[in-house]
Structure 1
Amino acid sequence: MVVKEIPLHENLSMEARHLNANTSGASSRATPTTTTPTTTTTFSRVYSVSITTAVLLISFFICTLLAVGFIVYNFATCGQLTAEPGEDIVCTSVHLRHKSNHAQNDDLPKYDRDVRLPHSIEPLKYNITLEPELSGNFSFSGSVQIRVRVLQDCYNITMHAEELNISRNDVAVYRVLAQNQLDQDSLRIHKQYLVGAKQFFVIELYDKLVRGSEYVVHIQFGGIIQDFLQGFYRSSYKVHNETRWVASTQFQATDARRAFPCFDEPALKAKFTLHIARPRNMTTISNMPITSTNKHDSIPNYVWDHFAESLPMSTYLVAYAISDFSHISSGNFSVWARADAIRSAEYALSVGPRILSFLQDFFNVTFPLPKIDMIALPEFQAGAMENWGLITFRETTMLFEPGLATANSRQRVAAVVGHELAHQWFGNLVTPSWWADIWLNEGFASYMEYITADAVAPEWKQLDQFVVNELQSVFQLDALSTSHKISQEVYNPQEITEIFDRISYAKGSAIIRMMAHFLTDSVFRRGLSKYLRDMAYSSATQDDLWRFLTNEAKASGLLDRSTSVKEIMDTWTLQTGYPVVKISRHPNSNAIRLEQVRFVYANSSKEDESLFWWIPLTFTTSTELNFANTRPTTWMPRTKVYEIENRNLSTDKWFIFNIQQTGYYRVNYDIDNWQAITQHLMDEKHFEEIAPANRAQLIDDVMNLARGSFLSYDTAMNLTRYLAHETGHVPWKAAITNFNFIDSMFVNSGDYDLLKKYLLKQLQIVYNQVRFEDSRSENEDILLLLKRSEILNMACHLGHQECISESIRHFQNWIQTPNPDANNPIGPNLRGVVYCTAIQYGTEYEWDFAFERYLRTSLSGEKELLLTALGCSKEPWLLYRYLRRGIAGEHIRKQDVFRVFAAVSNSVVGQHVAFDFLRNNWQEINTYMGSQITNIHTLLKFATKRMNSKYQLAEFEEFLHDAHWDYDRPIQQIVEQVETSVDWMTRNYKSIVKWLQREVGST
């Protein structure tokens, strides 16, 4: 999956509320009444009762006793359940419902620490029937028969269920007999109940479940198709002001249990057969093909779709979608989208089969399913989801309109398609045994998206872009002391959600890339192939992968008997952070001294001195200039200090370690080597002798080493002077990322003009190269298009006059164009900078014009550009209005709330507005979003990125305290970011100002 942080919530079902009301009503009706005679005369009377009356009275008495006994039994067994600390026990009488004291348990944790299922039962097959109502209250009903095998003698069946209505009479358990027939008599159920803090549904039996035997659990259930973008959810779109509904699924990580009762853990694989009812005018797609369709017996204009049985897979990969979409196909590969957007799916259909074929060859494992469907949903929380055979996408990650969408959009579609198709092997065929190793899914898919994009479009130079997009990006997060290990133990849905972050995705992909280079491509691929073949249809841990790669490496002579891939890679997956290697010459010798220490931005007192890594060492010198060989020359073992003897290194003018930045570490040098490298870069004729990825590495390393106080900002800023003649996309992207941080620190200061003057000077040559122009030609160099967008955005942000005036001119031309919705004269790759700059320097008129275009366009990519640009205004009241519209649920989709907050937070004025709005409205925001993502965490990250004073830090911490936020890892990381920014201002601001005064003053 491309990613998401999704918190969970609990709802008291409507049926449960109705139950409470009906129960009280029934009690009052059952109360007997008596009549008092009015006469005062008394006399004796003889009563006689007929035999018939006597029988009826006795029968009534017996029935009453049975009914009372049944009620007492139900509530007595429920009352006998004792809640552990943090548990919310939900009992069953007629429906699953919350206990009456639930409202008083708000201080209890939402989840138990450990929510793993017992190991006594494993599922084998699911047979699922669903009847959704795609209008009205959007309810659904269904049934599931789960065939299970008993692994240990036991008396209960524990599975998952969340926000489902299940009545006592709707649960039955049957034993499977020798001939695969079911015993006619169901097992006797003692009681059944929910454990809310575990999301468990427990069936306790009088009869023992015998080890080795198989049983079928039959459950009928109901629920609501919610709009919180998780589980079985609904979304909509409009056609000529008519609302069209779509029902689809998002189950990763722990939300299959919201759609049907199940054993919702990744290792508990089973086969699935689905039967789904739908309106006749719609279609249903799922993991497997439809085998038959027939008329529904009881719902008018509904039909049943029956799907083929799946291969063994995890519950989180089950998927289905009901829509009126159109589709186009190429063989067994189909793409689905709104009818008016299906043409935009042609690009995905053109690259999808090519990537699938490439991956089959790369892994040497055939794709095992009979078909693949990809569907672009109008509303989707993640970027995409890799459900086996039915991949679901946000529209912007699957749809691309040539001539109307940006080059970045085309690249993103290819990358996300590659990412999700790679999951069909890594994640779907072989699945992590538990979420602690989710990086095996996401790291591999994130790495393979670059490999697959490079295969279908080598001219994009994706492998160079990996350095700045993934590795250098995650370096910043992983430099926090509050980062976490790649293989991070997690125990409940909250913690599982938290690790779907840049560490699992980007760091995971970076260490896989490092491993592929030190094992060599051929050994790496052979090891992966054997791993996938031997572990197919089962679950695995990272140690399983290490075993296969070690065997292949030893068979190829790459590793000796005493070394294993596990020994090396455990230092990267089971330790937090990464090292910086300080490399220096020894005077009058051939010895080169290497010293490793964990790289963190915080004060050195926070460093963990016990962390050391196995580090693959690659290097070249000013004489060799070999930037192609990425196989390690030697290794730095797991020790603090290490020395190597190398005459070339000791005598050459300069050397560079970590070729193409294939190793996941930073490199620091002695001052003489930094000065020699800087001198070479300043040579306009020879600086390109250093590979683009390594020029980007030098910029990123030196700037971050200064940021972390490993060297002076004088050394770092001196190296950036060479950018005056740099025109490469990758080095400039590294530079812009690093200067964006300094810009965010300086922008509220009185010396910001010095930084602007310096950067505008450095930009002059590359700005003149890219110019303010755009071609709609499909043949233009995509790297030039990407670079132009980066450079123009930076230039306009810094106040470059031509950039600003050209942006305003292009936007005014659009305003004056007849029918601006059909005719946009602005080139697609200029629109981002033009829209933002024109709105920034415009008035309410320009803002309203852009918002109207947003409402009218049907192109998802164009909507995304406009949403981002609308946050560029400098008018606080417009930004407040924009944020209010963002959570109003009228014009802006729930999935796009984060884009709105990110856009508003991207300016100085906007960040103050965003934080103020969040502080005053966080409860409303949480309610609107369904408390379903760590959504507040994400919004807080946007709203605090420029905070760098003690006052702002205190204000932020006061908000956290008043809002009673848990100090979980995401919050800790945000607080640490602000703390390090405050510390950075104290340590570095004045020295950078002095350097800028010298540099700008000399021009």
Structure 2
Amino acid sequence: MCMSHSSNSSTNPDREVLPTNVKPTHYDLTLEPLFDSFTFDGEVAISLEVNETSNYVTLNSIEIEIHEASIDNKSIEKESIVFDKDEQTVTFKLDHDLVEKSTAVLKIKFTGELNNKMAGFYRSSYQENGETKYLATTQMEPTDCRRAFPSFDEPSLKATFTIALIADKDLVCLSNMDENSTESISDSKKKVVFNKTPLMSTYLVAFIVGDLKYVETNEFRIPIKVYATPGSEHLGEYSAKIAAKTLAFFEEKFDIPYPLPKCDMVAIHDFSAGAMENFGLITYRTVDLLLDEKKTNINTKQRVTEVVMHELAHQWFGNLVTMDFWDGLWLNEGFATWMSWYACDSLYPDWKVWESYVSDSLQHALSLDALRASHPIEVPVKRADEINQIFDAISYSKGSSLLKMISRWLGEDIFIKGVSNYLKKHKWGNTKTSDLWESLSDVSGKDVVKVMDIWTKNIGYPIINVEESGNDLTFTQNRFLATGDVKPEENKVLYPVFLGLKTKEGIDESLVLDTREKKVTLSNLDFFKVNGDSAGIYRTAYSPERWAKLGEAGVAGLLSVEDRVGLVADAGALASSGFTATTDFLSLVNSWSKESNYVVWDEILNRIAAIRAAFIFEDDEINTSLKLFTVDLLSPKLNSIGWEFKEDDTFAEQQLKSSLYGSALVAGHKEAEKYASEAFAKYVAGDKSAVHPNLRGSIFNYAAKSGDSKTFDELFNIYQNPESVEVKISALRSLGRFTQPDLLEKITGYLLQSDVIKQQDIYIPMQGLRASKEGMNYLWTWLQENWDKIYEILPPGLSMLGSVVTLATSGFTKRDQKQAIEDFFKTKDTKGFNQGLAQSLDVITAKINWSERDSKKVADWLSVNGYVSKNKL
């Protein structure tokens, strides 16, 4: 977003799947959305192969009213149609047997709800000249095709589809395939029939009806179009160009042509995820597809590029070859994530994305997987409502980090060759994770299956402790937990750890620690670092003396960017979990104030921000001192590069300026604050060029944090009348940064008003509220007071509910706060977000332990180093 039943039932007997007596081969589907009643009428004829003699057909269906049904033109009585709401199925009981090895056609006439849940066949609203307009679109992944039409809604039950849409003549109709014919069926209505699809899973079926315009590129051998509501289509030009380059790149790398006759990408105003890889008809949040290159900030540009590449990678990996069942989701998502970085690195080498990967994907993975309530990469999924919970940093980030580790072990070219072989062998079919490992083993001659099974089927990762004695290094592995309280029974798995030992001679990639401990002798120990270029999924702990030497090595230029980022991240994570003192971390980064790489700075500043977040409910003095330390640390670099942007600034220079400036503002850098106040005043007065796109988010946030009700109205006005979607999102996020009670009341009051804040966006101001104690308390109160309504509009089957619960709870740092959260949810049904809630409580526990253990020591260190005087800001 991103199955062979007989084997399914034997590998996971608890899995709730459809009976295997019949299987679908083709769907002939006609749908007509009705915007006046928010319903749709449908007819489907499903061609079936009969696997065993039986007198019933069961398929998935939910929130669909069936008017009539027949099998082989024999009518099925109403009372013989039985629904099971909990299992999300409908069973047609027949008065005769379907005979094994025969075929049958099941026809169904039905009506569904054109819902506002961003799931199945749903409606999306937008404003045009003050009028609310609608388009009808789909989101089937993971299990919502059953809301659009009765279907065999499991990834392994691939079939072909002939789709037809009935709509007003002036509306655009789109589906996975290109158009076959259009016929007029009345003065105002038309029927558009699309060509038959190749074999595909139901979760990739898509169709859209709406008033849409497009831009097209002919830079690839098939047409690529980007669609948007009228007036925004020109903002799709950038993504169309990216798509043309990316499709050509993947065709060459996979050695398999893009398999469909066209590729459409559509911006949708209401969208629960970031984008969805529907075969040939990819849907996106507007902010993840459309942009104005002259007015966009550098991070948005990179994000849009990567999202487009991610969805296009899925056209092969996921769509052409599909996981057998949802426990293989990580393979889809981890792979598309890795592949988008790989493509980005090849097509935009100056972005150096593998450097930012270490602070981005890898750290997301390591943070979530350090929680007791994490889950293995391969998760046994039993029910439909469990699936959304695994669309997380384990499936995407740990999955892609694992592939990065393997590609480094095997070599990138061999890795890609293995992937190409895998895709060719299984195209149009379904696979299990082991099928990819076997292809990689075949091409590399290494036992990939054995190594990867340990990494994918177990939760967590190790911390490698490095002890020095003479010229000997002893490496020991143990489970790493953010809470620092590993029990013996949680410490049994021994991972195959690629030590990647870096010395002045280079990196020794051959060393693997697959036992509890291992001894290695070096010719001298004046310089070494474990996990060269930070390609391995683990943390490394050194002696305090070695940390100091590594700090010097970083300053001396002996460490790559990836090494420096990994060191900072490890030092920060070890401090937060109690493996080392937080003061050791502060000493390390204190020596790196001359650092010139933005990725390293991002990691340093993120880790200092994490200390502040853990100590946010402590005495204000410690937080003030941490801000003083931050200003002192970054000022020399910021003062030398400034925050004015020039036409010829490189990607890296732009990133460094915006990153340092944003952190300086948060920490109270006086000149940065003065600049922000003046720039915001000019912006509000009408000079839109006064706020550079790269500083926009930081300046809006500062305006809110230091502002009053007048500022609130100004930002709210920007939100309601923005110059672009990107500006709208920045303004919305900043509205959570106010700290006055009446303004917090105002913004939390808007969270459930979908005419003010779209349901898909309610987490955005919540991110802002997380930045202050006041905001956090307000958000938690709001969640408790509005729980029933929140639960109703964000049903547990959708992943948004879990995000909202996590945002509203995981910022807390005290025992009584944790207890209050546990007490509140004790009486609630947590199905669909129980994993997120458990992870949130783990995060709070880690912060409780950290602040109780280290806040006094950190305060003393800051005091000794002179960061106490409040007037120093």
Return the match for 1:572 from 444, 455, 459: 455
Q: 1:405 to 1:436 in 2, by over 3 A?
A: same
Per-residue displacement from partner, 1:240-287 (whole Å, max 9, x unpaired)?
112221110000000000000000000100000001101111111110
Equivalent residue, structure 2, for 1:716:
585
1:858 is displaced (CA, Å) by 5.3
Verify the 8 A CA contact 1:189 1:205 in the aligned structure 2: no
Give the equivalent residue in structure 2 for 1:769. 640
Equivalent-residue separation in structure 2 for 1:926 and 1:879 (angstroms): 22
In the alignment, which residue of structure 1 is the partner of 2:169?
280
Looking at structure 1, the residues matched to 309 and 253 of structure 2 have their Cα atoms a distance apart, in angstroms, of 13
Query: 2:518 maps to what in 1?
Result: 642
Match of 1:43 in 2: none
Residue 195 of structure 2 aligns with an amino acid whose one-letter code is A
Of 728, 731, 743, 1:878 maps to 743
Corresponding residue number in structure 2 for 1:88: none
| Residue 881 of structure 1, CA deviation | 0.8
User: Does residue 625 of structure 2 align to residue 754 of structure 1?
Assistant: yes
Tell me, in whole angstroms, the C-alpha distance in 1 between the residues paired with 2:830 and 2:279. 37
Indicate conservation of the 8 Å contact 1:666/1:701, yes or no. yes
Are the counterparts in 1 of residues 56 and 94 from structure 2 also a CA contact under 8 Å? yes
State how far apart, in whole Å, the 2-side matches of 1:200 and 1:928 are: 23
* Map of 1:908 onto structure 2: 773
Contact residue 553 and residue 559 of structure 2 kept, 8 A: no
The yes-or-no answer on 1:409 pairing with 2:409 is: no
TM-score by length of 1: 0.83
Residue 907 of structure 1: how far off its partner (Å): 2.1
Match of 2:193 among 301, 306, 314: 306
Spell out, residue by residue over 1:768-814, the C-alpha distance to the aligned partner (whole angstroms, 9 max, x if none): 13423234x3x431222222222222111111111111101101112
- Single out whichever of 509-518 and 398-407 deviates more from structure 2: 398-407
Q: Identify the match of residue 594 of structure 1 among 452, 475, 492.
A: 475
2: CA distance, partners of 1:246 / 1:770: 47
Q: Is the 8 A contact 1:114 1:492 kept in 2?
A: yes
Q: Specify the code of the residue in structure 1 equivalent to 2:816.
A: Y
2:69 counterpart residue number: 171
User: What is the aligned counterpart of 2:541 among 663, 668, 674?
Assistant: 668
Indicate which of 837, 840, 864 corresponds to 2:702. 837
Amino acid aligned to 2:546: N
Contact 2:805/2:836 (8 A) holds in 1: no
The Cα shift of 1:1001 comes to: 6.1
**What does 1:339-738 align with in structure 2 at a 5 Å threshold?**
339-554=230-445, 559=446, 564-587=447-470, 590-606=471-487, 608-621=490-503, 623-624=504-505, 626=506, 632-637=509-514, 639-644=515-520, 646-648=521-523, 651-681=524-554, 683=555, 686=556, 688-738=557-607
Secondary structure of the corresponding residue to residue 339 of structure 1? coil
- The AA in structure 2 aligned to 1:146 is I
Match of 2:7 in 1: none
Q: In terms of mean alpha carbon deviation, does 880-889 or 252-261 score higher?
A: 880-889
Residue pairs, 1:980-991, within 5 angstroms = 980-991=846-857
Change (3 A) 1:598 1:834: same
Distance 1:816 1:529 in 2: 56
- Provide the C-alpha distance between the structure 2 equivalents of 1:267 and 1:605, rounded to a whole number of angstroms: 39
CA distance in 2, matches of 1:113, 1:196: 18
Mapped contact 1:757–1:1000 kept (Cα < 8 A): no
- How far 1:437 moved relative to its partner? 0.6
Paired-residue identity, % = 29
Gap change, CA 1:662 and 1:870, over 3 Å in 2: same
CA distance in 1, matches of 2:841, 2:693: 38
Pairing 1:146–2:46 present: yes
CA distance in 2: counterparts of 1:166 and 1:279, whole angstroms: 24
Q: 1:24 — aligned with what?
A: none
Q: Which residue of 2 aligns with 1:31?
A: none
**Matches of 2:374 and 2:397 in 1, distance apart?**
13
- Contact kept, 8 Å, 2:576 with 2:847, in 1: the verdict is no
Task: State the match for 1:969 in structure 2.
Answer: 835
Pair 1:898 & 2:782 matched: no
Partner of 1:41: none
Counterpart of 1:254 in 2: which secondary structure?
A: coil
**Count of residues paired in the alignment:** 851
In the aligned structure 1, how far is the partner of 2:744 from the partner of 2:656?
Answer: 29
Report the alpha carbon displacement of residue 824 of structure 1 after superposing the two structures with TM: 4.5
Separation of aligned partners in 2, 1:715 and 1:653: 20
Amino acid at match of 2:450: E
Paired position in structure 2 for 1:42: none
SS of match in other structure, 2:322:
strand
SS in structure 1 opposite 2:109? strand
Alignment partners' CA distance in 1, 2:395 and 2:210: 33
Provide the C-alpha distance between the structure 2 equivalents of 1:812 and 1:189, rounded to a whole number of angstroms.
67
- Provide Cα deviations, 1:960-994, integer angstroms capped at 9, x if missing partner: 22545458221111111112211222222222222
2-structure distance, mates of 1:551, 1:950? 53
Distance change (3 Å), C-alpha of 1:985 and 1:358: same
* CA distance in structure 1 between the partners assigned to 2:265 and 2:578 by the alignment: 48
Structure 1 residues without counterparts, runs of 5 or longer: 3-111, 175-183
The amino acid that maps onto 1:586 is S
Q: Shift of residue 857 of structure 1?
A: 2.0
What is the deviation of 1:1002? 11
TM superposition score normalised by structure 2: 0.95
* Change over 3 Å in CA distance of 1:1002–1:895 after alignment to 2: closer
Distance in 1 (CA, whole Å) between partners of 2:723 and 2:418 is 46
Distance 2:452 2:602 in 1: 29
CA distance in 2, matches of 1:832, 1:189: 57
Residue 753 of structure 1 aligns to which amino acid in structure 2? T
- Asked whether the 8 Å contact 1:478–1:577 carries over to 2, the reply is yes
Q: Counterpart of 1:781? A: 650
- Structure number with bigger Rg: 1
Counterpart of 2:116 in 1: which secondary structure?
coil
SS, match of residue 203 in structure 2: helix
1:635 Cα deviation after fit: 1.3
Alpha-carbon RMSD: 1.9
Q: Which residue of 2 aligns with 1:32?
A: none
Distance 2:764 2:798 in 1: 14
Counterparts of 1:709 and 1:228, CA distance in 2 = 43
Instruction: Give the CA deviation at 1:617.
Output: 2.2
Inter-partner Cα distance in structure 2 for 1:194 and 1:359 = 44
| Alignment partner of 1:955 is 2:837 | no
What is the aligned partner in structure 2 of residue 926 from structure 1? 791
CA contact (8 A) 1:403 1:828 kept: no
Q: Deviations over 1:19-64 (max 9, x none)?
A: xxxxxxxxxxxxxxxxxxxxxxxxxxxxxxxxxxxxxxxxxxxxxx
2:730 aligned to which of 857, 865, 870? 865
Change (3 A) 1:736 1:851: same
Amino acid at match of 1:373: D
Contact map agreement 1:351 1:456 (CA 8 A) in 2: no
Q: Aligned partners of 2:480, 2:155: CA distance in 1, in Å?
A: 34
